[in-house]
Structure 1
Amino acid sequence: MRTALRQLSLLAALAVLLVLSSPMAVADTAAGRAYHVAPAGADTASGTAARPLRTIGACLSRVRPGDTCLVHRGTYREQVTPPSGTKDAPVTIAAYGDGPVTVDGTEPVTGWRDAGGGLVAADTELPPDPDFNAVFLDNERAAEGRWPNSGADPLNITWAEADPTSTDQHIDDTDLPEADWTGATVHLWAGSNPWAQQTGTVTAAAPGKLDFKGGNYRCPPLCMGDQNYRNYYLVGSKAALDRPGEWYYDESAHRLYMVPPKGGMAGHTVTAKHRLWGVDLSDSSYVTVRGLNLFGTSLRTGNDSTGVTVDRLRAEYISEFSTLPMPPDSDLAIEPFEGHIVASRILDSGVQLLGTGNALKNSEISQSAGDGVLVRGTGHTVANNYIHDVGWMGSYTPGIEVNGNGHTVTHNTIRRTGRAAIDTAWQLNGTEYHDNRIAYNDMSEAMRTSRDGSPFYVCCSLNGSGSSIDHNTSHDADGQVGYYVDNYSGHFLLHHNVAWNTGARGTFFNGHTGPSIANRDHNSSYGVGISEQSVRLSGATDASGTYISNIIGPMPISVSQTGDPLPVVRSNLISEKPGYTDAVNGELWLKPDSPAIDAGEKVDGVTTDVRGAAPDQGAYEYGEPIWSTGCNLPGCQQRVRHGAWTATASDGTDASAVTDGDINTRWTAASSQAPGQDLTVDLGEAKTFDRLSLDAGRDTSGQPYGFSVSVSRDGKHWGEPLARVSGRSFTQDAVFPRQTTARHIKITLTERGPVPWVANDIRLYGEGPDATSTLHAEKATVVRGVERGTAATGVLGSGDWVGYRDVNVDGGQLTVRSASTCARNCSLELRLDAPDGPLAAVLPIKGSADWREQSVPLQRKVTGTHDLYLVARGERQVAALDWLTIRR
């Protein structure tokens, strides 16, 4: 048995993946020459700080290996195409550090004139492929005209529902407005089990009817007709323009139409996408891109690129498209067939790492109709990134698409995706997928526009030899499974993963009707919100080499008993009370009285950190530091800790299922939806949040047709609604214009609906971490004098500190988990807003080489949003820090 302090050197060695570099300065330019670029410069200038160049392109025309373009704050509407450097002398493009540097892929649209019918128009040349058009009004995404109208959030859309008399290429819908819809794009989410969405083109329309071609590549289960799902919408037609900000582009006339904002176009700016790749590294190697922002465009490397590092990128609105065509045969690794529609747009969207040995780190990637990040080739690293609001068109485009071999994908937070958070596509990758490490990623709010899938998804016929999927968390998703290895894939090793609120299962190995060989799951922990099996392997004709052990879960493990040797299932704890610390909040580490302690078996290469007589069952070894997942960038920690919440329904029905933290329990109203029906939630204490998620389950009906959200501090005085929501997606988000602090929340229906409304779960999110949740030391925003590992810091010496930015605080007691060999006069000080800011608490450290929790009251109750600093005082070695909380 090793002491906690002996492990800290290992943790510190792993910290390099999480540490953010310091802001760019001129001194960082190594041995090469530094050229300056600024909006007020001139491309004929010398490029010094006093005489900067005007464009990044002019700088890149001058650089040689080892040189740097230092780009000053401003917006640069150009395509950046760097030359190659060398392994020892890369070319660098870096933000100077005096403000945001944005490479903008859009161009202004001007010359607006009245076009009649309440529309304005401007003549403009948009890119030659209309499928990739995107328009922005006042730097926000403008919606292409569509029917039915929907809200601004493309992951929470309103669908039309076809009548059951519809057929394969024909829609009957009595609600369809009479208009000339010919040529419009019909977007379909239909079938008995629609695991992908499709698009087609309207060929004829009549009142309440339309015909289309395309789509329906698999019928069933993906087709319109008398099916469980008959959802669709129309886009790409001038007839759909009826809402301020909507647009339509007439390709033949080169004319952009828009419904103007109230008050007209004066004072508003409109831009349109012109460049798919704002930073194009497809012919570049040994280039470093650091600190840039992208708007309305993306970044890519090429199949021959190597040695490219992209650091601190902030990319927004990276990919937009309106159709889902069948991928060309040249994009497919195996013989094509109709089901390949699911792979549409995987290879032409997202931030793309192609080639060999490139890296994306410390970056935020958001707003994409397709991929967030595409990883394809060999040996890439994707580390410490925040990827969110992507994949809304509903094909298999995920937060991170992993194709190829030898990649490392670690410490990423992936949130709010149309389908998977992390995915690999067999259609594009064939049978080769090996030696990949997928670890310490946090995947949540996935499967927003699909149902048959999971946050982590593998499909299909893949050999995962040498790969490891470990130390990940999967939770609060709208699919059916936490980790899904689908259709004939084998040799996948999963271990030390965590899942809760993922639907039917924690992990699913789907043999379907073929082999599922040598798949393994060890030491994983599954919590609430799993209704059928903790682990399942089914349908396999051959499950040889399957090995499931050291699992903790609330539901049984089910494995096909086929193959030679037969599957091994042993040393597992199936219990609704396994001794988790706080299952509702995903804290599935063990309490001292858990029956899982020392109850596991040794597994070579898996049970490496053992304390006591034997390994523990589950993902966390009792007495070890508590490892965490996800990135440490702003926005990575948002979930508000669930407490003793209660819900009351206006119709008097029992609404306790809404606030029990389990997505599989459901409240159903007593009657069909009508304005004024409400749910009121008492949080038990004030919480700070700016988004509410109403999870209404994965059924086809019952989602509210429209609602508003109001808040109150006392449950008696209610202000005006902070948000109004429409749409019928599985989970609907009410986003508030600002952070608010309240104890009581009221959700009130604003629309009628044909069936009673339902709610399975309510979740809250804020702009920063919640101090009542566990603040892991390795997730600190800033540190001084100490390194962070995967599950703690090294030993803080006197004057060292860890800091967390913009933390929501409402509590009076500090609890810290630490380990120390300090004999006397050591303490940890909690200070507000700065390392030398107001003192909130002093926690004396009692020397113990083992990890232990200690608490102390705050000198006064602290509320509001603060930066928090934990400062070490005393000897040269004070303590190593695992986590802290501030609660009542």
Structure 2
Amino acid sequence: MKALYSLCLVLFILPGSIKGKKHQLYVVDGNKGDDSNSGENSHHAFKTIQRCVDKLMIGQPGDQCRIREGRYHEVIYINGLTGIEGSPFVITGFEDEIPIWDGTIPIQPEQWDLDEETGICSATIDQDIIALFLDDDLLTAARWPNALWSDKTVFNNSFWGHCAEDSTPGNLIDDGRAGLAESGIDATGAMAILNIGSYITWSRPVLHHEPGSNSFTYNHDMSENHWNKVHNQYYFEAHLGLLDIPGEWFYDMNTKKLYVIPPSGDCPDPSTTSLRGRTEDYGLDITNSTWVTLSNLTFFGAGLTAHSIEGIHSHIDEITIDSVQLKFPSSSRRMLGDYEPPPSQFYVIAKATVEHHEKVFGRVSVINCTVEGSEGNPLAYAGNNCYIHNNYFGYNDWTCVLDTNYASIHGDGEGNEFSRNNLYFNGNSVGFRPGYFTTVKENHIWGQNSGEIQNDGASFQVGVPSQPGVHVINNWIHDTPKSAVRFDGGGQHMGFNGEVGHNVAWKSGGIVIKGDNHTIVNNLAMDKDREERCSLCVIYKLRHDAVIENNNTIVLNNGASLANGGIHVGTDGDSWPMGGKIVENNLSDMEIKNYMVDPDNWDFRPLEDGALNNGTEVKGPYQPGFSLTYWIPGRRLYKTSTPVPPSDSSVSYLRDAVMFLEAHDFDDHEFYLGTDESSVDSATLDDNEFQYSLQDGNVFMLPDLSPNTQYFWKVDTRWGEYHYKGDVWNFITYE
């Protein structure tokens, strides 16, 4: 009894003891620190992040590692770090410094051998590498057909080989567009990247190919379910015989020899650290931890993962990743002969299976982060009530060789929010695939799979199990050959009870709704890539299916270039009417753009006397007339962004207003306008270019404009004592 009393006393006083203890703020300085120091201030800083993490592991919740600027080539595993609500453990940059968590090492051979004829520089190096960087930008693994990361042609299937229809699994025949036979290469031993599964891409070694031949073989040990002889495509990489243009490289792991053709034509200076090779998959791996925050860090050539593993005591919860930049976080190991998919190296999975097959979900938050140049998924996450907010994912996944997370961003779990994210020209055929009961709002997706390096897909693709309770609202999706929003299903396999509302989709494959009991309201869908296909498709019958879909769906107040229920198979181009129980006040008109203020310049306000404003309610997601607010989706920065009209636009000289996306934090926004760019750029409140300020709203009324004149404008941000100058945008007026 006495022992039990003592235990209860300890449990009672411990939380108060932790709360009262002063949090320890450790400092890491890779340039001036020493791991024998106390780490308690910048004058006695640790040298390594690992030493600081070791102190956190024996510290108290609320302790922090503050890392000074510099490059830190460390691989750190955190297991069992347990903070509490209000006092998480924190790993962050020191004050306003941004340290680099670096998965690369300098390449500094004693000398380079230059082949004057080919421009190839070669040298022996000490460690195997899986990616190569020059001046912190990615060089391209030697490949055929040629394409480069530097000009983003790697995202375009014009730089892939295409398969003839008489190709068979295991034996692909080039159709002649890329000219495999004429190339003269011997691809035997190269890695083939094979988009032969529609939305699935694999990598396999080339078993046999002869110079002058238009076919090659590989081991087809994968499914043939999605084999499509019309759309199959491929390219080769990771072979010395493919190294032929500036910006490419090859590494022979057997001889430890590196070959590179520098863009400048000169071999890299071995006395500098400008050439770097990637040696690590992850910089940081977290498991069995709760209430941990990472912030104000850059990961370069290194992944970041926080994940649950099987077992009741090994899951993660309340992991927050805030204002972290990941540059080239994922790289394959094909240069080392490993054809497996690259790991998802921004991987935050708070999901585990414990006893009796019970699932345990934690919560993760990813906010204000930037992910660029990931060869695999830029983000895969799982958990309940996760918050993925205000991030930028740009130019990721140019091979689309993935394991199972077939999307640029793959979500799992329940009750999550995916909001105010920018997805910009990512390669995968699917932009975002949500989990269950997910809110998908205020995102801006631009150019998803624009180079068609995969087939099928959609910018927002919602599978049948994920449709109940999903809300896809207030998003912009454009410049993609894929569907903007797609609810999957067909036949007896249907999803139910999803919402698609107040979205704008243009220059896309439109909005496609399968299933039943959905709510489809106030969307705009226009500029379909093929005029004969619907831009708003609320499916009534899907191709040859006998099942009628969307019997109980509500379809209200939408506007589309062409709205219907899908193609009526067996007729001469006829279509079904839109499915739905209540289908009212919708507009289907190929001239729909004429009923908006300036849709080509992202001003989707309906004209007051137009067809979008002639019903019982306004059709589409915007109201007519002038207002101080105009909703613009996407990531908010420290300064203003996303001008409407976009910079370099041509607009009517009668235009009434300009709009912009507000800064993340602000007290007011200041509007400047003039006809001289430098004057607008340097203008302050005392100059003639200053027009007026707004504390609320994001719409500025324009003064009278002259025709055939170029105007420059900016919107500065004031927040407390801070002043952030906006970019200078421009437009030209016409009569």
Match of 2:486 in 1: 484
CA distance in 2, matches of 1:387, 1:453: 18
* 1:368, distance to aligned residue in structure 2 (A): 1.1
- Which stretch shows the higher mean deviation, 572-581 or 370-379? 572-581
Match of 2:423 in 1: 414
CA deviation map 1:507-527 (0-9, x unaligned): 1124xxxxx232331111123
Match of 2:534 in 1: 533
- Which stretch shows the higher mean deviation, 284-293 or 94-103? 94-103
Q: Which has the higher contact order (CA 8 A, sep 6+)?
A: 1
8 Å CA contact 1:547, 1:568 repeated in 2: yes
CA distance in 2, matches of 1:180, 1:636: 52
8 Å CA contact 1:415, 1:443 repeated in 2: yes
8 Å CA contact 1:124, 1:256 repeated in 2: no
Which residues in structure 2 correspond to 1:824-835 (within 5 Å)?
833=682
CA distance in 1, matches of 2:554, 2:334: 42
Match of 1:840 in 2: 689
* Matching residue's letter, 2:284: V
Closer, same or farther in 2 for the Cα pair 1:871/1:378, shift >3 Å?
A: closer
* 1:351, distance to aligned residue in structure 2 (A): 4.6
8 Å CA contact 1:160, 1:233 repeated in 2: yes
* 1:774, distance to aligned residue in structure 2 (A): 4.1
CA distance in 2, matches of 1:205, 1:542: 50
CA distance in 2, matches of 1:389, 1:30: 45
Match of 1:297 in 2: 302
Which residues in structure 2 correspond to 1:51-62 (within 5 Å)?
51-62=44-55
Residue 662 of structure 2 is aligned with which of 771, 779, 789? 779
* 1:502, distance to aligned residue in structure 2 (A): 0.5
Contiguous gaps of at least 5 residues in structure 2: 1-19, 309-314, 352-361, 569-575, 721-728
Residue 583 of structure 2 is aligned with which of 569, 572, 583? 569
Residue 91 of structure 1 is aligned with which of 89, 92, 103? 89
* 1:78, distance to aligned residue in structure 2 (A): 1.1
CA deviation map 1:733-790 (0-9, x unaligned): xxxxxxxxxxxxxxxxxxxxxxxxxxxxxxxxxxxxxx999433x5236512xxxxxx
CA deviation map 1:778-822 (0-9, x unaligned): 5236512xxxxxxxxxxxxxxxx2259xx9x76599xxxxxxxxx
Closer, same or farther in 2 for the Cα pair 1:217/1:803, shift >3 Å?
A: farther
Residue 702 of structure 2 is aligned with which of 839, 855, 870? 855
Match of 1:250 in 2: 252
* 1:644, distance to aligned residue in structure 2 (A): 10
* Matching residue's letter, 2:87: A
* 1:837, distance to aligned residue in structure 2 (A): 5.7
Residue 131 of structure 2 is aligned with which of 130, 134, 139? 134
CA distance in 2, matches of 1:31, 1:887: 59
* Matching residue's letter, 2:283: G
Residue 379 of structure 2 is aligned with which of 348, 356, 373? 373
Closer, same or farther in 2 for the Cα pair 1:635/1:230, shift >3 Å?
A: farther
Q: Does 1:317 align with 2:328?
A: yes
CA distance in 1, matches of 2:645, 2:610: 23
Match of 1:700 in 2: none
Match of 2:716 in 1: 868
8 Å CA contact 1:146, 1:240 repeated in 2: yes
Closer, same or farther in 2 for the Cα pair 1:50/1:853, shift >3 Å?
A: closer
| TM norm structure 2 | 0.75
Residue 467 of structure 2 is aligned with which of 464, 478, 483? 464
Match of 1:496 in 2: 502
8 Å CA contact 2:648, 2:731 repeated in 1: no
* 1:587, distance to aligned residue in structure 2 (A): 2.2
8 Å CA contact 1:172, 1:208 repeated in 2: no
Q: Structure 1 or 2: larger strand share? A: 1
SS at match of 1:61: helix
8 Å CA contact 1:121, 1:258 repeated in 2: no
Which residues in structure 2 correspond to 1:343-742 (within 5 Å)?
345=341, 348-355=344-351, 356-394=362-400, 397-420=406-429, 422-424=431-433, 433-448=435-450, 449-459=453-463, 461-479=464-482, 481-487=483-489, 488-491=493-496, 492-503=498-509, 506-510=510-514, 516-529=515-528, 531=531, 532-536=533-537, 537=539, 538-539=541-542, 541-543=547-549, 544-558=551-565, 567-575=581-589, 576-577=591-592, 579-597=595-613, 599-600=615-616, 615-622=617-624, 625-633=629-637, 637=641, 641=645
* 1:236, distance to aligned residue in structure 2 (A): 1.7
CA distance in 2, matches of 1:590, 1:684: 16
* 1:125, distance to aligned residue in structure 2 (A): 3.0
Question: Superposition RMSD on alpha carbons, in Å?
Answer: 4.1
SS at match of 2:50: helix
SS at match of 1:307: strand
8 Å CA contact 1:370, 1:398 repeated in 2: no
8 Å CA contact 1:414, 1:421 repeated in 2: no
CA deviation map 1:702-754 (0-9, x unaligned): xxxxxxxxxxxxxxxxxxxxxxxxxxxxxxxxxxxxxxxxxxxxxxxxxxxxx
Residue 268 of structure 2 is aligned with which of 255, 262, 265? 265
8 Å CA contact 2:710, 2:732 repeated in 1: no
8 Å CA contact 2:525, 2:536 repeated in 1: no
8 Å CA contact 2:331, 2:342 repeated in 1: no
Q: Does 1:73 align with 2:66?
A: no
SS at match of 2:299: strand
* 1:831, distance to aligned residue in structure 2 (A): 8.3
Match of 2:3 in 1: none
Closer, same or farther in 2 for the Cα pair 1:138/1:592, shift >3 Å?
A: same
CA deviation map 1:404-444 (0-9, x unaligned): 2111010111111112563228xxxxxxx422110000111
Q: Does 1:41 align with 2:33?
A: yes
Match of 1:211 in 2: 216
* Matching residue's letter, 2:716: L
Q: Does 1:160 align with 2:161?
A: yes
Closer, same or farther in 2 for the Cα pair 1:509/1:323, shift >3 Å?
A: farther
CA distance in 2, matches of 1:85, 1:521: 43
Contiguous gaps of at least 5 residues in structure 1: 1-28, 128-132, 328-340, 426-432, 511-515, 601-614, 646-682, 686-770, 785-800, 814-829, 873-883
* 1:380, distance to aligned residue in structure 2 (A): 0.8
8 Å CA contact 1:402, 1:422 repeated in 2: no
Closer, same or farther in 2 for the Cα pair 1:406/1:123, shift >3 Å?
A: same
Aligned length: 629
SS at match of 2:413: strand
* Matching residue's letter, 1:49: S
* 1:383, distance to aligned residue in structure 2 (A): 0.7
Match of 1:816 in 2: none
* Matching residue's letter, 2:607: K
SS at match of 1:517: coil
* Matching residue's letter, 1:208: G
The percentage of counterpart residues that share the same residue type is: 20
Closer, same or farther in 2 for the Cα pair 1:259/1:843, shift >3 Å?
A: closer
CA distance in 2, matches of 1:464, 1:240: 45
8 Å CA contact 1:84, 1:91 repeated in 2: yes
CA deviation map 1:308-333 (0-9, x unaligned): 11111111101122669xx9xxxxxx
Closer, same or farther in 2 for the Cα pair 1:533/1:119, shift >3 Å?
A: same
Match of 1:761 in 2: none
* 1:257, distance to aligned residue in structure 2 (A): 3.5
CA distance in 1, matches of 2:265, 2:710: 43
CA distance in 2, matches of 1:108, 1:868: 41
8 Å CA contact 1:500, 1:586 repeated in 2: no
SS at match of 2:52: helix
- Which stretch shows the higher mean deviation, 830-839 or 306-315? 830-839
CA distance in 1, matches of 2:595, 2:249: 55
8 Å CA contact 1:528, 1:583 repeated in 2: no
CA distance in 2, matches of 1:238, 1:187: 16
* Matching residue's letter, 1:66: G
* Matching residue's letter, 1:273: R
CA distance in 1, matches of 2:43, 2:699: 57
8 Å CA contact 2:164, 2:230 repeated in 1: no
SS at match of 1:60: helix
8 Å CA contact 2:306, 2:349 repeated in 1: yes
Closer, same or farther in 2 for the Cα pair 1:838/1:501, shift >3 Å?
A: same
8 Å CA contact 2:195, 2:201 repeated in 1: yes
